[in-house]
Structure 1
């Protein structure tokens, strides 16, 4: 679980150090902007942006009942963030599995991607799709809603 927070914490620490340097140089406005940008990137790369993660077993069970896709992801992944942001509110309807928190989820991703932990891997009707187009994932959500 700590691994998911390394990048966001590092961004805040580096942003604070950079802002302190700018402040010492007599530039308070650029220091504040720099710190704000670093905090924004830290927030976007934190697990807080994503819906609550489930275990792989729980996500499979729920998907079997409601036929919604399962998304395997990890914090700090730009492609996972792209998928999450492009799905908007519909992202909450998917079942999200953080592979850094769930070893079984990581094993499923490796099995689907020739031993690689390539994310996002979206499983629709038992079939894995690696880094699919967000528009396609949105279509899968609307087709399961019928």
Structure 2
């Protein structure tokens, strides 16, 4: 449920603000307002990201193929930016949701001074906390 909380909050905010506008006769404004919040809710939802794997699975795969691991969480605007900029290349990375895997959260804390700062990118030789998408694109 925690993974979906940002999407649910955005949808609720859209309903709370959009429905009264529609009821007051400002139908277009209410519909636009609601639509914007629904789109934002979809963008930050877990399905907007490539399928997440566990930390153990990502590390084993990285040992075999050398591709970077990107640790993320739903609702994180920096993760959304990373995902959006990488777009078609997103499948070249191992995506790990730290809210679904306690080991993943521990891995992030180990390289981020005890914090769960995401996105965190781990390559076979280096770790990057909240790197630019361009830097990540150049890693692989």
Whether the TM-score (by the shorter chain) exceeds 0.5 is yes
Asked if 1:94 corresponds to 2:130, the answer is: no
Aligned partner of 2:32 in structure 1 is: 33
What value does the CA root-mean-square deviation take over the aligned residues?
0.9
Q: Displacement, 1:126?
A: 4.1
User: What TM-score, normalized to structure 1?
Assistant: 0.93
**SS state at 2:127 partner:** strand
Paired with 1:134 and 1:98, the residues of 2 have a C-alpha distance of 17
User: What TM-score, normalized to structure 2?
Assistant: 0.97
Aligned partner of 1:144 in structure 2 is: none
Paired with 1:70 and 1:87, the residues of 2 have a C-alpha distance of 13
1:1-146 paired onto structure 2 within 5 Å? 2-141=1-140
**SS state at 2:38 partner:** helix
Structure 1 residues without counterparts, runs of 5 or longer: 142-146
Structure 2 residues without counterparts, runs of 5 or longer: none
**SS state at 1:135 partner:** helix
- Superimposed CA distance per residue, residues 2-55 of structure 1 (whole angstroms, 9 cap, x where no aligned partner): 111011011112211212100111011111100100001101111111100000
Paired with 1:139 and 1:14, the residues of 2 have a C-alpha distance of 38
Number of positions where the alignment pairs a residue of Structure 1 with one of Structure 2: 140
Q: Displacement, 1:127?
A: 2.2
Paired with 2:133 and 2:63, the residues of 1 have a C-alpha distance of 22
